[in-house]
Structure 1
Amino acid sequence: MALFKGTVKTALKLLLLLPLVLLVLWVNYFVDQTGLFRGGKYELELAQILLGGDAVSNFTKMDEREVLKLYIKNMPQPYDTLVVGSSRGLQITAAIAGETGTFYNAGMSGEDFYDIVGTIALLDKYDRLPKNMILVLDPWILNDNVDSYSKRSDADLANEFLSETLGFHESYEAQDRSRYTEALLDLDYFQKNVAYHFADHSDEDQPSRVSGNVYEQATETKMPDGTLLYTREYRENSQEWVDQEALSRASSILPFGCYDFTVLNEKRCAQFEAVIDFLREKGVELTFVLSPFHPIFYDKLAGTENARGVLLTEIYFNRMARRLQIPFYGSYDPAQAGCSNEDFYDGLHVRRESIKKFFFGIHASLV
């Protein structure tokens, strides 16, 4: 009898503690001041604004990669078409792609091979692979030189996918899942979250929805379809300025992963082919797009032995597309893409209205 009473008392104490435990769990997960469970506050809010169908005007301080991770995680369903690539593909809209259904441009500035693989890994993880994927392929993704990688890319995410899903042997640091469980019930974290919740955050940078004419914003605008809208001033720079910018870029190829690039890396090519095979096996319809460089910049590349790999990558992507019957559009060579100096914002980025000169949409006939 005494044992029974003791058991009841213990049970009642646990029941009395249960609301407190649930409160700690709720606050630690949903307030989450460090972004451990739900992602960074700024990036999560920005992703939610985009998912809500609004443009964002002040996103220059955001972590683009973190925003994309949170965007993919919170996507309501797979989209009909996604664009994956660097900023050189961020001008491709649904209208340009010929997509009348759901569409998102998942490109990001400075995207490298790890970024491409990481994006595909997340889409697969959350069962959000699209029906169609437009891959805007930059030459440096096949360059294994250390300078071809972005310091912002998540190598662990990409290498885990390459190793665990595609069977390559790449080193990576797996996430420590135990720290999430510990943090959920951490009373110190609970106290910090409570303090954070009631603190004044009015002076913190916050992403904001665009108000007024989206084409007249003073800062670059992230559109709800993921595309990037440059400021009016940048869109309307004089041709003299554009050409001079291209010339300036041409004198410094190194930052764009095109330096010391004389041959294609065999292992990197094998990994890229494995990624393409994976997507095709998943039923994703692929389209390859090569965005041209400004003529001044391209002439510098074409005349530099250390950048010979740029020419080799175009041949490689073209042959792969032919072999696998993947639609292939564009060229790094602006002349081949039908573009001149007037078709560029700067040395690397083709004007939005000029993309249709070389990319006719995912449903266009190549015959």
Structure 2
Amino acid sequence: MQISSIRNTGNIQQQCKNLLNLGVSGGSLEDLAIFSFIILNNPNLPKKVFIDIDPWTFKFGMDSRYGAYQFYYNEMNKILEEENNNKDKASYWSKIGKNIFNFQYFYYSLLTLTNNNDKTTTPSSLLSKNILYPLTSYDYTNGYIYPIILQDGSRVYAKDFILSHKNSNPFITATDKDANYKISGEIYDPNALKYFEKIISLYKKNGIDVKFIFTPYHPVLFKAGNIKPVTHMTEIEKITKNLTKSYNIKTYGSYSPEKVGCKNDDFFDAMHPTTPCLNKIKFSE
């Protein structure tokens, strides 16, 4: 959710001068299907789509919040001639706040990303409150007085949040909750992987250049040996690299902080890199 063309993360402006970040908290394969349906049904198709590959991307049912937009998921399934085998509709209404926010922002941004003259507030069509823009100068690395969403959909954290995580950084361990987030069961589902490939093929059919992104995890995980999170990440990265060969797709970044060049201090927690770390993902190459 931090990749941004406004702050030119990793010099991404050389790839995309006007990026719209649609990242949602705990984004799942179903979320990808929903956003893909909306993107592909927009009259103005994008030239490029960057897909962030998480360790749980190639599995169904990893987050229930997509259920708020079940209609769009079903419509995408019709297009892909795929039935939704995940019938678990666990209660998600208490957990969809962040996803709703990004979803309505997506609609608004498509219409006003280049036409908004009022940089302080943006009327919300789905929520009763406004999207707030910063009123004073700030630094992306050190944050703002409260969390904000930039015009391209990327997030800037609050100063207090960043400071608290800097103080806790030395105590991050491989057994932290964040280190094992959604790391359970089989590494991937072959049916989910086929479903993912159908989405990629649909983008390609519509002339859209697809690119994959991996964001690194904290070095402490990789120093802990062959633990479950590392095993999952290694296999998912390997599977994804095979897909890039089949579909001629460029990949940026890695789960490995060493490959990207990130150090211990470049993370908020076990799985969330800071701006300086993300800037080391060279989108210009």
Which TM bucket (shorter chain)? 0.7 to 0.9
Offset at residue 260 of structure 1 (A): 1.9
Give unmatched runs, 5+ long, in structure 1.
1-86, 174-203
Which residue of 2 is the match for residue 71 of structure 1?
Answer: none
**Structure 2 CA distance, aligned partners of 1:352 and 1:315?**
26
Which residue of 1 is the match for residue 145 of structure 2?
Answer: 218
**Structure 1 CA distance, aligned partners of 2:58 and 2:235?**
10
Which residue of 2 is the match for residue 288 of structure 1?
Answer: 212
Higher helix share: 1
Offset at residue 143 of structure 1 (A): 2.8
- Work out whether residues 222 and 230 of structure 2, in 8 Å CA contact, stay in contact via their aligned partners in 1: no
Which residue of 2 is the match for residue 167 of structure 1?
Answer: 81
- Work out whether residues 293 and 350 of structure 1, in 8 Å CA contact, stay in contact via their aligned partners in 2: yes
Structure 1 residue corresponding to 2:70, chosen from 156, 178, 184:
156
Q: Deviations over 1:213-243 (max 9, x none)?
A: 3446321111111111112233345755123
Offset at residue 311 of structure 1 (A): 2.2
Change (3 A) 1:303 1:312: same
Matching of residues 315-334 of structure 1 within 5 Å: 315-334=238-257
Which residue of 1 is the match for residue 96 of structure 2?
Answer: none
Which residue of 1 is the match for residue 282 of structure 2?
Answer: 360
RCO higher in 1 or 2 (8 Å CA, sep ≥ 6)? 2
Give the CA RMSD over aligned residues. 2.9
- Work out whether residues 298 and 332 of structure 1, in 8 Å CA contact, stay in contact via their aligned partners in 2: no
Q: Deviations over 1:44-74 (max 9, x none)?
A: xxxxxxxxxxxxxxxxxxxxxxxxxxxxxxx
Structure 2 residue corresponding to 1:312, chosen from 228, 235, 241:
235
SS in structure 2 at match of 1:135 = strand
- Work out whether residues 114 and 155 of structure 1, in 8 Å CA contact, stay in contact via their aligned partners in 2: no
Offset at residue 352 of structure 1 (A): 1.4
Which residue of 2 is the match for residue 140 of structure 1?
Answer: 56
The size of the alignment, in residue pairs, is 238
**Structure 2 CA distance, aligned partners of 1:343 and 1:127?**
40
Give unmatched runs, 5+ long, in structure 2.
88-127
Offset at residue 273 of structure 1 (A): 0.5
Say if 2:247 is the partner of 1:335: no
Query: Which structure has the larger Rg?
Result: 1
Change (3 A) 1:205 1:123: closer
1:318 partner letter:
K
Change (3 A) 1:308 1:153: farther
Matching of residues 194-233 of structure 1 within 5 Å: 206-215=130-139, 217-233=144-160
Which residue of 1 is the match for residue 43 of structure 2?
Answer: 127
Normalising by structure 1, we get a TM-score of 0.57
- Work out whether residues 111 and 153 of structure 1, in 8 Å CA contact, stay in contact via their aligned partners in 2: no
Which residue of 2 is the match for residue 93 of structure 1?
Answer: 5
Offset at residue 158 of structure 1 (A): 5.3
Which residue of 2 is the match for residue 107 of structure 1?
Answer: 23
**Structure 1 CA distance, aligned partners of 2:190 and 2:236?**
12
- Work out whether residues 115 and 153 of structure 1, in 8 Å CA contact, stay in contact via their aligned partners in 2: no
Offset at residue 298 of structure 1 (A): 4.7
Which residue of 1 is the match for residue 107 of structure 2?
Answer: none
1:283 partner letter:
G
Offset at residue 294 of structure 1 (A): 0.9
Which residue of 2 is the match for residue 274 of structure 1?
Answer: 198
The sequence identity of aligned pairs, in percent, is 16
